[in-house]
Amino acid sequence: MLNNFDWESGDQQAVEVAFAGAARIVNAAEHVIDKGSKIAAHMLEAAVADIEFNEGQFSITGTDRRLDLFAVARAARDPDQLPAELEPGLDAEGSFTSPAGTFPNGCHVCEVEIDPATGMAEIVNYTAVDDFSAVINPLLLTGQVHGGIAQGVGQALYECGLYDEAGQLLTGSFMDYTMPRADSVPSIHFNMHNVPCTTNPLGLKGAGEAGAIGAPPAVVSAFVDALHPLTGIQHIDMPITAQKIWRLLQTAQDDKSACGL
């Protein structure tokens, strides 16, 4: 049982599902194994110290005498098969309080190309390397990062809520609100350089919103670097639309013309 864990609380971060929740499951499992070892020792007429648990089996070390977990669980419900000091049942609760938070980290690099005549741009290369510590499901994690990067690209280049002067939302449907599509997101080069975390028994740091957090500043920084030599800009607000880029380039060209350059 997960104890002291509020799944619906807005104060809990998604990372806690793995970081804290899984640690509590491990703690509960350890209690189950400890009690199961005592029951198995009683049933096998052995010392508790001689019982080991491996791959769902309680066995006497160095022998072929063993009981599977389900046999021990069934016996745990029968008071007649239990040591006198144990209560019936093989249930357990787990708790875990981390001494410190976790800090997953990474580096995202984006390369863009801009057509100065139209302001149209393309992300031609995107590389991400992240440190998530121990990984439970690499395929799921990779998909999570890819999806987060796509979300971040959408935020950086396309998505914007627009209102008219009366406060009426003008982008109230996906007919008007621009979302990233398959051809908007480049092939992503993703890798991991994982360093085990020391603040929980599974060594987890979590991934959460890593892709969505890393993508917007990487994309915006790439555009600023590309436009700075022509426009002198050091900042540009999201979303970076083709119209916005074209206007920046036109303003820079007009300023040069006014100066006789």
DSSP-derived 3-state class of residue 101: coil
Cα separation, 119 vs 242, in Å, equals 5
Lowest mean pLDDT among 126-130, 185-189, 219-223: 185-189
> Could you tell me the pLDDT band of residue 256, with boundaries at 50, 70 and 90?
low
| Bridge partner list, 67 | 58
Contact yes or no for 206/97 (Cβ under 8 A): no
**End-to-end alpha carbon distance in the chain:** 73
195-214 average pLDDT score: 85
Question: Where does residue 73 rank: exposed (0-12), middle (13-18), buried (19+ CB within 10 A)?
Answer: middle
Tell me the CA distances in angstroms from 188 to 145, 146, 181, 182, one per residue in order.
Answer: 10, 7, 14, 12
Q: What is the mean pLDDT of the chain?
A: 86
94-114 pLDDT, tens digit each = 777 777 777 888 999 999 999
DSSP E strands in 132-224: the ranges are 188-192
80-93 average pLDDT score: 85
> Could you tell me the pLDDT band of residue 259, with boundaries at 50, 70 and 90?
low
- Greatest mean pLDDT among 58-67, 70-79, 218-227 lies in 218-227
123-166 pLDDT, tens digit each = 999 999 999 988 888 999 999 999 999 999 999 999 999 999 99
pLDDT at 26: 85
Going along the chain from its start, the domains and CATH numbers come out as: 1-97 (3.30.365.10), 105-258 (3.30.365.10)
DSSP E strands in 4-137: the ranges are 51-54, 57-60, 66-68, 105-114, 121-131
pLDDT at 8: 42
